Structure 1
């Protein structure tokens, strides 16, 4: 008789549980020290091991060989019966099936009977939040005064629907979805045991499709294994089995977006439709792939977020539209419009950065040699330039910028040269003489002189410039 992979590789002891390390450690310590609660509440998404861990607790308290233990033997009659699912003192109630009122009544009537073969009777109530109000009230009375030989394990995906009075009587453990590392290790272990090779791309796809549920992941792996018939599992085969758009197509579409090619994008969507590829699923896969590219720094953040935002907003807005190809056209149009703005800004920034990095083939020594010629030419263009540049000197060239230094007492002249009118004229003069596209900036250089020295120095410069003399 065929046994599904999930049942075949269901953890037989705590060491085989994937993930949930903190919960497993705490429960093992409880069993090892004998500090066992009479009621537990296991909360978490489906398929993450709530019922599995509950059964391991049942083994831990009922193992015949090792006693109450965190390492059940898995050989004795009780351990084997729990593994096979026919242990008489393990009662599982599915509250989702019939709302549980009859089962809870029977539980209340029979709970005082001692265990048949084990030390403890274990009651696992799955999807406990689905119980009726009457069933909840009956359960509450049982939890208030439970017999010593009974342990209750309540499992739920929606704890907010459970009466606070019930939650307060339980030790609560919140299970989480499995991370990729834990799930990958478990899937690789199963693959090795089944003599199957599987690539990392397939493992990543299975993880994404399972949304962190170990049970779903193993079921998906089994589907892929059956399809591949003992062949190596590759990402291409996994994509085909799961109905996921190939990464090759997604990469091609992203390149079309980057190139802002609307016509090519429409043709691409038509080809998908002709190949009977689900357009809506394609865009959802594109969004997931864009997320991965963002995390890997392989796409511009703005572009990646733009793709994800537009896809989900548009799919939600047109969720009742049957022709998803038309919805695809809308998505393409919006993405390309927004992306074009992003790309245009990036191109401007890139162009600016390139200009900033231009190195001018003129040395500071050449500028200093040509400085008298530059001053004469500037004075001819605007006579006041000659006055403002008295005492100014070329200091250095950095990149494509020439820095002109002024003494501190000439800060007024520096401020005048920084104005648009004087700077543009002077810059143009320097560019013509040096045959370059140089920029000019001004700075204060040197220490401030004594007031008398400043007065004498400035007076001399003004007289020299205008050809005057001092009249006492």
Structure 2
């Protein structure tokens, strides 16, 4: 298993550098996370998918969390999703969740179909979109229905600044656990800055031995 998967946070308390996003979700949880759509945006490798999965796990058991790419959303697929969301999941958590990654890949037809779906989400269901900051800007420029779509979502913007020190410290801790460490914290800080706070890329470099003497 790759390091970025092995050390992916398993709860909100393990998240690094995204305290505001975690606090927002915890506050929403007090009022109920179902019957909502969420739009998570941030730079690559800063925790979008992790937060989406953690959010989904608050509502549904793993087998009732579906994850797919926006480019896979045909009209037929969206109809199937709406039908599946109408049925309760099984287990202690009886919800259902769909995570749509790379949401900047949504086409006009999918967006218009989603506008209707989001207005009638069941109380036990949620749809979570993730996208990069750059992708979101491009989507706004190309699709006129993006603003109405976002107005139906709770927007969670991930932190972009002041991540380097926290990410460097976490990267060093992981490297030490895996016996891949041989350099001071300053080297990890440089590595994080080199990869523009992309923790996935940082851990891939560590896995390749970049922090060994």
99 and 114 in structure 1: CA distance in 2 versus 1, 3 angstrom threshold: closer
Equivalent position of 2:165 in the other structure: 181
TM-score by length of 2: 0.85
Aligned counterpart for 1:159 among listed residues 136, 146, 149: 136
**Unmatched tracts of structure 2, length 5 or more:** 141-145
Equivalent position of 1:142 in the other structure: 117
Equivalent position of 2:143 in the other structure: none
Aligned counterpart for 1:107 among listed residues 78, 81, 104: 81
Tell me the CA shift for residue 60 of structure 1: 2.4
- C-alpha distance in 2, partners of 1:144/1:19? 33
**Which one has the largest radius of gyration?**
1
Larger proportion of strand: 2
1:187-336 maps to which residues of 2 (within 5 A)?
187-197=171-181, 198-224=183-209, 233-234=212-213
Structure 2 counterpart SS, 1:88: helix
Q: Contact (CA 8 Å) 1:123, 1:152: kept in 2 or not?
A: yes
Higher relative contact order (CA 8 A, sep 6+): 2
Q: Contact (CA 8 Å) 2:39, 2:156: kept in 1 or not?
A: yes
Write out the 4+ residue segments of structure 1 that deviate beyond 3 Å after TM superposition. Answer: 98-102
TM-score by length of 1: 0.40
**How many residue pairs are counted as aligned between the two chains?**
201
- C-alpha distance in 2, partners of 1:36/1:184? 32
Q: Deviations over 1:255-313 (max 9, x none)?
A: xxxxxxxxxxxxxxxxxxxxxxxxxxxxxxxxxxxxxxxxxxxxxxxxxxxxxxxxxxx
Asked if 1:124 corresponds to 2:81, the answer is no
Tell me the CA shift for residue 58 of structure 1: 2.1
Q: Contact (CA 8 Å) 1:119, 1:149: kept in 2 or not?
A: yes
Equivalent position of 1:25 in the other structure: 23
**Unmatched tracts of structure 1, length 5 or more:** 63-77, 79-86, 226-231, 235-472
Structure 1 counterpart SS, 2:86: coil
Structure 2 counterpart SS, 1:61: coil
100 and 174 in structure 1: CA distance in 2 versus 1, 3 angstrom threshold: farther
Tell me how large the CA RMSD over aligned residues is: 2.0
1:48-87 maps to which residues of 2 (within 5 A)?
48-62=46-60, 78=61, 87=62
Structure 2 counterpart SS, 1:39: strand
88 and 130 in structure 1: CA distance in 2 versus 1, 3 angstrom threshold: same
Tell me the CA shift for residue 149 of structure 1: 1.3
Structure 1 counterpart SS, 2:63: coil
Q: Deviations over 1:18-71 (max 9, x none)?
A: 10111111212322x244261111011121111101111122234xxxxxxxxx
Tell me the CA shift for residue 100 of structure 1: 4.3
Equivalent position of 1:374 in the other structure: none
Tell me the CA shift for residue 201 of structure 1: 4.1
Asked if 1:133 corresponds to 2:131, the answer is no
- C-alpha distance in 1, partners of 2:200/2:14? 14
- C-alpha distance in 1, partners of 2:28/2:68? 24
Structure 2 counterpart SS, 1:125: strand
